[in-house]
Amino acid sequence: MRYLFLMLLIFSSFALAKNQTVYYEPSLVELKGVIKDLKFPGPPNYESIKNGDADETGAYLILNNPIDVILPSKLKNDSNDNDEPEENVKILQLAVENDSDWTKIKKGNYVQLTGTLFHCLTAHHHTRVLLWVEKVKVLSMQKAENIKLDISSEDQQFMSHEHLQSST
Amino acid sequence: MPYFVKGEAGLNHSIIYTDNTERYFRYSGGTWAWRDHNPGNLVPGSVSARHNQIGSTGKFAIFPDYKNGHSALLDCLKTTYKNASINYLVSKFAPAKDGNNVKIYRKFLHDRTGVKDDKKVKDFTASEFDKLWHAIEAMEGYKEGIVTEVFPITEVYRDKNGICELHIKGKGWASKSECINLAKQGCLDLIVCISHMRHEYLRARPNSSVNGSLEHMIVKKPKEKGK
């Protein structure tokens, strides 16, 4: 009986820890997290900036909690057939619609971003899922510098091929 | 006409292709775009799957030839980015922080295509569209390297000091030192290792399609050379 109770307790804690589920484009999503700058090597060899590859420093959102990203229930004209479901996503590479928003997307800022999610498609995409940022709301400024790169094991596995050069 | 049916990541960022007659070819040097026949540097996914993707490096999709990789890039431009202007396309295709990369990429595409406004890709003329993919392929970096045939090991003979002779398919028996040289030239899919006594020895690359573990190929009787 005691074991049964223990099993139920473990099971319920897993059930409670279920990730938030969000949809790929064209659905708008609102996500909160901390901005981090990550430096990856770009063309031509995507291996080492020191050895001549382009510097692809980008802004990334480390989410408060991991999300599961699923396809819209009914594919619409503006949905993307490259998108595929991903679970336990904790980090999103940011693609920004308005250049002026970069003034708010600063490392360490705690932000709420509104936009659409899309799946990685090119070698310039360094996370499984990316966020096309349409609106930025800064919740607090540069208080979370030097935070640990806290990402899921699935994210880590994907990024193991990306030759991360540094993170700040 | 032989064609590639499988591609896999080899040593030192090379790609090893298997053709339909079970011959193997290593693409080394040059850029990834050339080595994996992927001029758009696309990652594996549904777009690459539609264009006969035959493998993955972990990061890049591997296509059987340039034609398929090129078609995948065109497909991606005509579907995923059909409603994009050049500025929007670059921000999504190659996002980066507000550094120079995005600006350089945008300027390059504007200059090469002659499209300076917010015209959508789907509205490009045939000539502008041709210039667009040419420019993207140039920006991604398409540089040729070297193609080397890779020969499988079929049997090995070992004496009291370890593996001393290896049988190379189509070439016959060769000494360990000859094979070490061939492995260094990329003609064998073997890793040259150094023992704690500073001696070189060979072992198979894990998950190689070319040959399996050398330990599983040991023959008991020495073979006559040249056979």
Query: Strand pairing partners for A29?
Result: A115
Residues of B with CB under 8 A from a CB of A: 13, 31-33, 40-43, 45-47, 57-60, 76, 79-80, 83, 88, 91-99, 101, 139-141, 143
Residues B34, B14: contact at Cβ < 8 Å?
Answer: no
pLDDT tens for chain A, residues 1 to 168: 566 555 655 555 555 568 999 999 999 999 999 999 999 998 888 888 998 888 899 999 999 999 999 998 765 555 567 889 999 999 999 999 888 898 899 989 999 999 999 999 999 999 999 999 999 999 988 665 566 788 999 999 898 888 887 777
Q: CA–CA separation, B220 vs B156, rounded Å?
A: 9
Q: What residue has token string 């667009």?
A: B132
Cβ pair B41:A124 closer than 8 A: yes
Cβ pair A96:B92 closer than 8 A: no
Q: CA–CA separation, B112 vs B130, rounded Å?
A: 10
Size of interface A-B (CB pairs under 8 A): 100
Half-sphere exposure of B182 (CA within 13 A, CB side): 21
Structure confidence by residue, pLDDT tens digits, B151-166: 999 999 988 888 999 9
Q: Report strand pairing: B190-194 vs B200-204.
A: antiparallel
pTM: 0.88
Residues B192, B202: contact at Cβ < 8 Å?
Answer: yes
From residue A97, how far is each of A34, A75, A118, B36, B61 by CA, in Å? 19, 23, 14, 31, 27
Which of B97, B100, B133 is the best substitution to test chain A (most A C-beta atoms within 10 A)? B97
Residues A111, A104: contact at Cβ < 8 Å?
Answer: yes
Measured in angstroms, the CA of A19 and the nearest CA of chain B are apart by: 24
**Which ipTM was obtained for this model?**
0.86
Measured in angstroms, the CA of A15 and the nearest CA of chain B are apart by: 31
Q: CA–CA separation, B46 vs B26, rounded Å?
A: 26
Consecutive H or E run containing A137: strand A129-140
Which of B98, B100, B107, B122 is the best substitution to test chain A (most A C-beta atoms within 10 A)? B98
Residues B145, B30: contact at Cβ < 8 Å?
Answer: yes
Distance of alpha carbon A121 from its chain centroid, rounded? 14
The runs of H, that is alpha helices, within A17-165 are 153-159
Q: CA–CA separation, A33 vs A22, rounded Å?
A: 15
Rounded to 10 degrees, what is the CA torsion of B12, A42, B42, A63?
A: 110
The percent of residues in chain B predicted with pLDDT above 70, rounded, is: 96
The runs of H, that is alpha helices, within B114-143 are 126-140
